[in-house]
Amino acid sequence: MYEHLLSLQNKLAKKVIICPYKNNIRLIGGVDVSFERFSNTGFCSFVVLNKKFEIVEVKNVKLTVKMPYVPGLLSFRELPLIYQAYKKLSFKPDIVFCDSQGIAHSRGLGLASHLGVVLNIPVVGCAKSRLVGEYNIPGNKKGNYTYLKYRGENVGAVLITKDNCKPMFISPGHLIDIKTSILTVLKFTKKYKIPEPTRVAHILSNSFRREDSNFY
DNA sequence: GCGACAG
DNA sequence: ATCTTGTCGC
C-alpha cells in the first residue's frame, strides 16, 4: 500500500549523517503537532528557546493532511506542517528536538531523521515510547541510560531524564550522534521528564488547537 | 497466522 | 495523537 514511501525512506536514509555535535547551542528548537479528534487537521507549534529556556519565537501552522498515522510512516503525516512552521521562523535554531524517533526506525529514517535531512540541520528524536529495538531497563536516576539496539547496532539510548520516571527514547536524527544526543537532551531537561523544547512545543500546539476551535 | 507498533 | 478523574508515589 505504501511501497513508494518505503523506497523514498530507504533513499533518504542514505543521506543521514551521524557524527558528534560539537558547536555551541545558542538557540534550540522544539516541535510538536497535535490533531483534532475526528479529523486529520493538525496544529504544529515550532518554538525557539535560548539557553536560559526563554521563548525567543513561536510559529504555528494549521493544515489538514491526507496521510493517516501508520507506524513507521509518521513523517509523511507530520512533516508538511513542521516544514512550513520552520520556514516561517526568523530565528533559526542551532539544533532541533523532535517528539519522535531518529535512526531508531525500521528503515533508519524516523521523523527526526527525515526532518534533519530535508532541512539539513541537526535534529534529535525524543520519544516517550519505543518503535523498534531491544534494551535493558536503566537505573532510575536522572542521567542513567542503556543503549537501544536494533539489528545488532546501537540506534539510540533509553534515558532517564527525571528521577523515578519512565525513560525517554533518544535517538539521533541527523548531524549528531548518540552520545552527544544524550548530553544535549540532559542539558535541556530541567524540572520535568520531557525536555523543555518539546515540552513547550507540546503545550503550545495544544493551546493553538483549542483556541482555534473557538473560531466557529 | 500472531503480536507489536513513534504520534 | 485524543478522551478524561481520581489517585498513588516521590
β-bridge pairing A95-98 and A123-127:
parallel
A213 pLDDT band, cuts 50/70/90, is confident
Provide the grid cell at A155: 540506534
Cα A132 to Cα A9, A110, A168, distances in angstroms: 16, 10, 14
A144 pLDDT band, cuts 50/70/90, is very high
- Mind listing the pLDDT tens digit for each residue in A123-135? 999 999 999 999 9
Q: Residue A138 above 70 pLDDT?
A: yes
Distance A140 CA to C9 C1' (A): 14
A64 pLDDT band, cuts 50/70/90, is very high
Instruction: Enumerate the domain spans of chain A.
Output: 21-128+171-210
Find out whether A64 and A36 touch, Cβ atoms under 8 Å: no
Q: What is the rounded distance in angstroms from the CA atom of residue A123 to the CA atom of residue A104?
A: 13
Q: Which residues in chain A, range 83-142, keep a C-beta under 7 Å from any nucleic strand B atom?
A: 99-101, 105, 110-112, 125, 127-131
Provide the pLDDT for residue A90.
98
Provide the pLDDT for residue A122.
98
Q: Is A139 exposed, middle or buried (0-12, 13-18, 19+ CB in 10 A)?
A: exposed
Q: Is the CB of A35 under 7 A from strand C?
A: yes
Q: Is the CB of A34 under 7 A from strand C?
A: yes
Q: Residue A114 above 90 pLDDT?
A: yes
> At the topology level of CATH, where does A21-128+171-210 sit?
archaeoglobus fulgidus dsm 4304 fold (3.30.2170)
Provide the pLDDT for residue A216.
64
Q: Which nucleotides of chain C have an atom under 7 angstroms from any protein CB?
A: 1-3, 10
| Other residues' Cβ atoms within 10 Å of the Cβ of residue A104 | 30
- Mind listing the pLDDT tens digit for each residue in A150-185? 999 999 999 999 999 999 999 999 999 999 999 999
Distance A151 CA to C4 C1' (A): 39
Share of chain A above pLDDT 70, in %: 99
Q: What is the mean pLDDT of chain A?
A: 97
Q: What is the rounded distance in angstroms from the CA atom of residue A165 to the CA atom of residue A179?
A: 21
Provide the grid cell at A100: 519522535
